[in-house]
């Protein structure tokens, strides 16, 4: 999955949307609401997860981030997961059960 | 938390708003009239009341059982004769939710948030959840021209931006700004960890005092005014309005304004003061967080997983769930799923616990993408789906020999409740969709549905998660030799259940 390393451009950190090649727009779907993230392909998704949880005011321990049925730990990058633009990450709350 | 914990703010000479963000959206206070003196008294209701007020016109009195609110309301209505436009929130049904997107920029260590609002919306104030806002820069983009706005530093958990600048020049720009679909950009430095966050909490006895504080200190200090009522609370001491400030530096100023207010700088002091058991407080704290209205915030201590296996990180508290009389959570079950699947990847596919809820939510996307199309689930001999019911119960649905002519769906429930048809229907729907994706030549298979008679958990025990794990384990071992329908009430014993807990 991670075998196609794209050359990463790091041009002095110019912000202006010029680096859109390196960025992906990712939808985060949580309880029917969508929040959009634009993130670099090479940034670990941890950052996204943290920001999402902080913004939502939820405890990250109880959140499950799922991409295509697989859990995300946060160390992955979009590139490693072969994510495409507009892909969706689903967020679920912890489930428990006993009775 | 119940919805009735409402805050009624009675202000003197400016628009008052309740910081009450919905969980997932920032609440944006929008005015319909372009120009308005924001200098009158204003009753603020909760969302529902506010909507009603919008529908009925502000001068109609809404009969409510809350006497105090009504009293304040009618007083206000009597005093303020001219009908004022009622502020409404974007969150009301007929207004589209603003689209929020974040841009994470590693190089600059900047997080940029763009909030797109609709045409015609004139934003007076934006309240958005955020942990630490050190300094930020809000820009409005209008005709590619960036408009700087006056921004306010609010505090640790929320910030709000007032886009209406008292400066006349800016006012004009903003009126034209409302003509287009506009995007507000908020750019901020990455925040530090919340753990370090210092805040003080001030308890005051009335909303008026809270309001005074708010007025004197102004936007720079206020985070939230909340009417805090803890559940099962008899001690009237602990009832009151809490205001939380971002920094203890404000204490001298506060004690000057409100000598009688009690201030707490830490949550433990709050515990001490309210004499509530920490569990009650933390429960109400977290409840408040969940419904997105509270800013009394415990630092979130994210537990580091101690074992990570195939992306399933198990933390200490997850492990504690394996002790007796604890419910299993999804993490533990998925961990076990991965473990079981490890040696049987060719023949067996076990879905994660996240599969079914997502299938309910977004069926076609899931069916197309999970598992990845290269995985042929019809080549497998056994498919199992652990499913959580209402966050209290685990069941297992197994599909035996999906490749064969007569696949069987076995419904396993350690409480032997009746089969829930919607679950089985969903699974069949999924299987048919997958069938179409993987092998579109033939018509869908007919599944026979059976409920397995299996060892049952004891009344009052919380072992169903363990039973599910055990069922899965035995299915893997014996699916070939089992006779269907399964009638094995003594497939394993209670002792095995205990053993399984230990083993997992």
Nearest CB among B99, B104, B394 relative to A51 is that of: B104
Angle at B394 (CA atoms; ends B393, B397), nearest 5 degrees: 140
* Average pLDDT across chain B, whole number: 55
pLDDT band at residue B322 using 50, 70 and 90 as cut-offs = confident
- Quick one: how far is CA B175 from the chain centroid? 35
Which of B107, B156, B412, B417 should one mutate to test binding to chain A, selecting the residue with the greatest count of A CBs within 10 A? B107
The larger pLDDT score, comparing residue B229 to residue A53, is at A53
pLDDT band at residue A55 using 50, 70 and 90 as cut-offs = low
Instruction: Render pLDDT for B451-482 as a digit per residue (tens, 0 to 9).
Output: 888 888 877 777 788 888 888 888 888 877 76
Count of CB atoms within 10 A of residue B264's CB? Answer: 20
- Mean of pLDDT values over B193-199: 30
The larger pLDDT score, comparing residue B493 to residue B193, is at B493
Determine, for residues B465 and A33 on separate chains, whether the beta-carbon distance falls below 8 Å.
no
Residues of B in contact with A43 (CB under 8 A): 104, 106
DSSP line for B260-329: T-EEESSHHHHHHHHT--HHHHHHHHHHHHHTT---------PPPPSEEETTEEE-HHHHHTTSTT--EE
- Mean of pLDDT values over B351-367: 85
Predicted confidence at residue B303, as pLDDT, reads: 65
Residue A19 burial by Cβ neighbours in a 10 Å radius (0-12, 13-18, 19+): middle
Which of A29, A75, A84, A97 should one mutate to test binding to chain B, selecting the residue with the greatest count of B CBs within 10 A? A97
CA distance B464 to B443: 36
Our CA-based measurement puts residue B285 at a distance from the nearest CA of chain A, in whole angstroms, of 11
Count of CB atoms within 10 A of residue B206's CB? Answer: 10
Predicted confidence at residue B453, as pLDDT, reads: 81
Residue B362 burial by Cβ neighbours in a 10 Å radius (0-12, 13-18, 19+): middle
Instruction: Render pLDDT for B223-243 as a digit per residue (tens, 0 to 9).
Output: 333 333 333 333 333 344 444
Interface confidence, given as ipTM, is 0.74
Predicted confidence at residue B167, as pLDDT, reads: 37
Our CA-based measurement puts residue B62 at a distance from the nearest CA of chain A, in whole angstroms, of 31
* Average pLDDT across chain A, whole number: 75
Determine, for residues A96 and B105 on separate chains, whether the beta-carbon distance falls below 8 Å.
no
Predicted confidence at residue B501, as pLDDT, reads: 62
Cβ contact B379:B439 at 8 Å: no
Our CA-based measurement puts residue A92 at a distance from the nearest CA of chain B, in whole angstroms, of 7
Coil vs helix vs strand at A38: strand
B228: CB partners within 8 A, 6+ apart: B5, B238, B239, B240, B241, B242, B284, B296
Determine, for residues A48 and B326 on separate chains, whether the beta-carbon distance falls below 8 Å.
no
pLDDT band at residue B334 using 50, 70 and 90 as cut-offs = confident
CA distance B479 to B501: 22
**pTM of the complete model:** 0.55
For the ranges A50-54, B261-265, B390-394, B492-496, the lowest mean pLDDT is seen at B261-265
Predicted confidence at residue B452, as pLDDT, reads: 82
pLDDT higher than 60, residue B304: yes
CA distance B136 to B133: 7
Predicted confidence at residue B486, as pLDDT, reads: 56
Count of CB atoms within 10 A of residue B85's CB? Answer: 11
Cβ contact B10:B43 at 8 Å: yes
- List b or e across A50-66, with b for residues whose CB sees 16 or more CB atoms inside 10 angstroms: bbbbbbbbbbbbbbbbb
Q: Of how many residues is chain A composed? A: 99
Partner residues linked to A66 by β-bridges = A71, A90
In which residue are the tokens 């590693």 written? B106
Q: How many A×B Cβ pairs under 8 Å?
A: 169
Instruction: Report which of B475, B470, B476 is spatially closest to residue B455, judged by C-alpha positions.
Output: B470
In which residue are the tokens 């809820």 written? B357
Output the CA torsion B472→B474→B479→B480 (10° steps).
150
Nearest CB among A13, A31, A72 relative to B108 is that of: A13
Cβ contact A31:B24 at 8 Å: yes
Residues of A in contact with B330 (CB under 8 A): 64, 92, 94-96
Instruction: Report which of B283, B270, B277, B216 is spatially closest to residue B242, judged by C-alpha positions.
Output: B270
Instruction: Report which of B317, B315, B311, B401 is spatially closest to residue B354, judged by C-alpha positions.
Output: B311
> Counting runs of H as helices and runs of E as strands, what totals does chain A give?
1, 6
- Mean of pLDDT values over B331-355: 83
Residues of B in contact with A66 (CB under 8 A): 352, 354, 358
Residues of A in contact with B195 (CB under 8 A): none
Q: What percent of chain B has pLDDT over 70?
A: 35
Residue B176 burial by Cβ neighbours in a 10 Å radius (0-12, 13-18, 19+): exposed
- Quick one: how far is CA B37 from the chain centroid? 36
Predicted confidence at residue B255, as pLDDT, reads: 53
Count of CB atoms within 10 A of residue A36's CB? Answer: 17
Residue B400 burial by Cβ neighbours in a 10 Å radius (0-12, 13-18, 19+): buried
- Mean of pLDDT values over B309-314: 77
Cβ contact B468:B394 at 8 Å: yes
B341: Cα within 13 Å, side-chain hemisphere: 19
Predicted confidence at residue B494, as pLDDT, reads: 57
pLDDT higher than 70, residue B142: no
Instruction: Report which of B500, B492, B498 is spatially closest to residue B340, judged by C-alpha positions.
Output: B500
pLDDT higher than 50, residue B388: yes
CA distance B467 to B465: 5
Residues of B in contact with A67 (CB under 8 A): none
CA distance B370 to B75: 59
């Amino acid at each position: 999955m991670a075998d196609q390393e794209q050359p990463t451009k790091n041009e002095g950190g110019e912000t202006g949307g010029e680096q859109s090649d390196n960025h992906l727009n990712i939808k985060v779907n949580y309880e029917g609401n969508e929040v959009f993230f634009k993130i670099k392909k090479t940034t670990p998704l941890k950052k996204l997860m943290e920001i999402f949880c902080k913004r939502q005011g939820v405890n990250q321990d109880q959140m499950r981030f799922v991409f295509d049925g697989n859990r995300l730990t946060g160390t992955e990058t979009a590139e490693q997961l072969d994510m495409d633009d507009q892909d969706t990450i689903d967020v679920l709350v912890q489930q428990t059960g006993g009775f | 938390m119940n919805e009735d914990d409402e805050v009624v703010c009675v202000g003197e000479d400016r628009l008052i708003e309740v910081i009450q963000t919905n969980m997932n959206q920032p609440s944006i206070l929008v005015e319909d009239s372009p120009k308005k003196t924001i200098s009158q008294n204003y009753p603020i209701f909760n969302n529902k009341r506010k909507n009603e007020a919008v529908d009925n016109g502000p001068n109609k009195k809404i009969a409510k059982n809350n006497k105090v609110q009504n009293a304040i309301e009618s007083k206000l209505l009597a005093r303020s004769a001219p009908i004022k436009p009622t502020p409404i929130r974007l969150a009301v049904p007929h207004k589209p939710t603003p689209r929020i997107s974040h841009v994470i920029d590693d190089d600059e260590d900047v997080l940029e948030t763009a909030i797109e609002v609709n045409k015609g919306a004139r934003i007076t104030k934006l309240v958005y959840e955020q942990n630490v806002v050190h300094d930020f820069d809000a820009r409005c983009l209008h005709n590619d021209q960036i408009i700087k706005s006056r921004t306010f530093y609010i505090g640790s958990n929320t910030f709000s931006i007032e886009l209406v600048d008292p400066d006349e020049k800016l006012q004009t720009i903003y009126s034209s700004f409302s003509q287009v679909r506009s995007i507000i950009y908020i750019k901020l430095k990455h925040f530090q960890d919340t753990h370090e966050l210092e805040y003080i909490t001030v308890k005051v006895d009335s909303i008026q005092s809270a309001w005074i504080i708010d007025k004197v200190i102004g936007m720079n200090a206020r985070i939230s005014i909340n009417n805090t009522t803890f559940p099962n609370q008899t001690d009237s001491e602990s009832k009151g309005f809490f205001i939380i400030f971002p920094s203890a530096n404000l204490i001298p100023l506060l004690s000057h304004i409100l000598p009688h207010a009690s201030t707490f700088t830490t949550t433990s002091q709050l515990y001490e003061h309210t004499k509530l058991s920490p569990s009650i407080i933390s429960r109400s704290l977290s409840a408040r967080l969940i419904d997105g209205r509270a800013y009394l915030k415990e630092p979130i201590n994210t537990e580091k997983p101690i074992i990570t296996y195939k992306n399933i990180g198990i933390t200490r508290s997850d492990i504690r769930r394996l002790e007796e009389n604890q419910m299993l959570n999804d993490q533990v079950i998925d961990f076990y799923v991965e473990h079981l699947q490890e040696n049987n990847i060719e023949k067996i596919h076990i879905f994660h616990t996240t599969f079914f809820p997502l299938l309910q939510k977004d069926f076609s996307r899931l069916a197309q993408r999970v598992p990845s199309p290269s995985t042929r689930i019809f080549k497998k001999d056994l498919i199992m789906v652990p499913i959580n019911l209402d966050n209290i119960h685990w069941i297992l649905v197994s599909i035996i020999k999906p490749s064969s002519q007569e696949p069987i769906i076995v419904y396993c429930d350690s409480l032997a409740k009746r089969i829930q048809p919607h679950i089985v229907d969903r699974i069949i729907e999924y299987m048919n969709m997958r069938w179409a994706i993987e092998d579109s030549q033939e018509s869908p298979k007919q599944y026979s549905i059976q409920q397995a008679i299996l060892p049952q958990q004891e009344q009052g025990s919380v072992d169903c998660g363990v039973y599910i794990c055990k069922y899965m384990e035995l299915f893997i071992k014996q699916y070939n030799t089992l006779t269907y329908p399964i009638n094995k009430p003594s497939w394993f014993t209670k002792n095995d259940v205990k053993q399984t807990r230990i083993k997992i």
